[in-house]
């Protein structure tokens, strides 16, 4: 029986904004099949005497690999069978014309739920990394079949819209081969581009021609304001968090040999939200059956303390999807490497599902940690595209057309800075506590001239989010948009070849 505490904790009351915390429904103790997993995410603690198991209904989805046609049939059949919990849409097509399907799983699949966050999972960005693709199909199956029997899943779907894109690179998947643990066959899209090196980059100009698959993702996350995201990969067992790139790479722009050296003697490149990204990564790793042990996949591969790593500390890359989500759209994305073998035999898929299912669920629930609320005008109308940032954390986020905002934060005292065209900027203090998302509503006052009517200040050049200023050599701020091209010549070719080799090994 689900227990809901009715306590409302008053945190901060201001004349310009109101903040308070709400209790999130708790869940029973959780275990997975033969693995006793009584450890649960703080904030969703045990209630009830009997442990229960997360067990999917697999009657209509076997543990086998599904080609694009099979996957399409499954998704269409699922949304026809569960029209109240699912909606199927495409964000575009691959180079070879395959649909990039997304399944929404939610109690409100066809329309946004006011005040409730959108989250997403993306799989198979590298076509030969196939485990994540199947995990996401089973995730869909599990959520829809558990909604009426599992109070925790019901709460998650009642309060969250989950968008699942099982395969971003269906062309690469079609070219890859089951049983191949290493190598690059099928990794790239059909034009030979690595999609996880194909996004705009903050630290360095990315001259690679944008591909249809990445353009589809960019348009998708520009339309839907995602709060949290996970990208499923293979080739290692670790949760990797931003930044993937580093400003230090600029030091070696004129020397290819130096660039090679810096790429593999790497230092962390930390975001202003490093505490949050580490927590999100640990949430996944600690709920995984093996990841938190930090065991290396091979004797020559690195081991990862607690099963997590900063992306640039592992190896830097330019044009990664998780950095783009964070800097350009304020969405916190973590890269989840879920299998040592990129494309293991199908008979191992059940094991991977058992290892990952609790992690996948608990990770999404983290969208309800931190602060959320509305930015409104004095009449209670929503202010769309208001720019917000947490003081001291210079990567910002913005409101939806309904004036909503969300930000994942750890417990503490913060100051929210709010800017909106035509309104007086506001600073609002608030507190985040463990286990309870803090609700914060901010009212903005219109700005006006001394000589009379209201006016709208001169609009600054468009920029989707606040971005940190990275010091380049010589102490001047760097500019990722106008950076110079990569070095050319034989040493650069050598460097690029070495990078490709490492990418194929590590994922």
Using CA atoms, how far residue 192 sits from 40, 41, 488, in Å, is 42, 41, 20
Angle between helices 274-287 and 349-365 (to 10 degrees): 140
- Residue 438: both structure tokens together: 């803090």
Q: Is 491 exposed, middle or buried (0-12, 13-18, 19+ CB in 10 A)?
A: middle
HSE-up of 435 (CA within 13 Å, CB side)? Answer: 15
Using CA atoms, how far residue 263 sits from 175, 201, 237, in Å, is 29, 16, 21
Instruction: Using the CB atoms, write b or e for 92-124: b if 16+ within 10 Å.
Output: eebbeebbbbbbbbbbbbeebeeebbbbbbbbb
**Residues carrying an active site annotation:** 337
* Distance (Å, whole) CA 363 – CA 291: 14
8 A C-beta contact, residue 329 and residue 222: yes
| C-alpha 271, offset from chain centre | 14
HSE-up of 70 (CA within 13 Å, CB side)? Answer: 12
Beta bridge partners of 62: none
According to DSSP, the β-strands at 438-443 and 404-407 are unpaired
8 A C-beta contact, residue 362 and residue 156: no
* Distance (Å, whole) CA 344 – CA 354: 15
Q: Is 282 helix (H, G, I), strand (E, B) or coil?
A: helix
* Distance (Å, whole) CA 364 – CA 133: 17
Taken in order 195, 199, 201, 206, is the CA torsion positive or negative?
A: positive
């Amino acid at each position: 029986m689900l227990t809901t505490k009715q306590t409302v904790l008053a945190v901060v009351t201001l004349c310009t904004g109101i903040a308070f915390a709400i209790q999130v429904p708790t869940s029973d103790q959780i275990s997975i099949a033969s693995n006793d997993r009584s450890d649960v995410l703080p904030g969703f603690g045990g209630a009830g005497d009997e442990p229960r198991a997360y067990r999917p209904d697999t009657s209509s989805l076997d543990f086998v690999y599904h080609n694009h046609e099979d996957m399409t049939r499954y998704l269409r059949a699922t949304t026809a069978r569960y029209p109240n919990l699912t909606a199927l849409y495409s964000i575009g097509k691959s180079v070879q014309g395959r649909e990039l399907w997304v399944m929404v799983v939610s109690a409100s699949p066809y329309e946004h739920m006011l005040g409730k966050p959108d989250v997403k999972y993306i799989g198979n960005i590298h076509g030969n990394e196939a485990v994540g693709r199947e995990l996401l199909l089973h995730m869909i199956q599990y959520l829809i079949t558990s909604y009426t029997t599992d109070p925790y899943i019901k709460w998650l779907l009642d309060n969250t819209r989950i968008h699942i894109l099982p395969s971003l690179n269906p062309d690469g998947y079609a070219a890859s081969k089951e049983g191949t643990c290493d190598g690059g066959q099928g990794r790239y899209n059909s034009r030979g581009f690595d999609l996880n090196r194909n996004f705009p980059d903050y630290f360095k100009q990315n001259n690679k021609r944008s591909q249809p698959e990445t353009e589809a993702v960019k348009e998708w996350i520009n339309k839907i304001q995602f709060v949290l995201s996970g990208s499923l990969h293979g080739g290692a067992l670790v949760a990797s968090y931003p930044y993937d790139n580093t400003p230090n790479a600029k030091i070696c722009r004129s020397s290819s040999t130096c660039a090679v050296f810096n790429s593999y003697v790497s230092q962390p490149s930390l975001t202003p939200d490093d505490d949050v990204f580490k927590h999100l990564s640990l949430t996944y790793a600690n709920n995984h059956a093996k990841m938190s042990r930090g065991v290396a996949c091979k004797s020559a591969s690195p081991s990862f303390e607690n099963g997590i790593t900063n992306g640039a500390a592992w190896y830097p890359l330019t044009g990664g999807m998780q950095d783009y989500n964070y800097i350009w759209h304020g969405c916190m994305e973590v890269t989840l490497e879920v299998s040592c073998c990129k494309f293991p035999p199908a008979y191992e898929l059940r094991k991977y599902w058992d290892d990952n299912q609790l992690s996948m669920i608990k990770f999404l629930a983290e969208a309800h940690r931190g602060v959320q609320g509305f930015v409104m005008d004095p009449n209670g109308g929503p202010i769309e595209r208001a720019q917000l940032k947490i003081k001291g954390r210079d990567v910002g986020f913005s409101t939806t057309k309904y004036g909503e905002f969300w930000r994942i934060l750890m417990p503490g005292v913060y100051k929210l800075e709010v800017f909106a065209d035509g309104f007086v900027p506001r600073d609002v203090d608030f507190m985040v506590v463990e286990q309870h998302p803090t609700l914060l509503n901010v009212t903005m006052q219109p700005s006006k001239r001394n000589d009379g009517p209201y006016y709208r200040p001169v609009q600054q050049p468009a920029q989707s989010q606040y971005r940190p200023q990275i010091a380049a050599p010589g102490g001047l701020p760097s500019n990722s948009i106008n950076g110079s091209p990569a070095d050319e010549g034989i040493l650069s070719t050598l460097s690029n070849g070495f990078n490709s080799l490492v990418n194929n090994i590590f994922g």
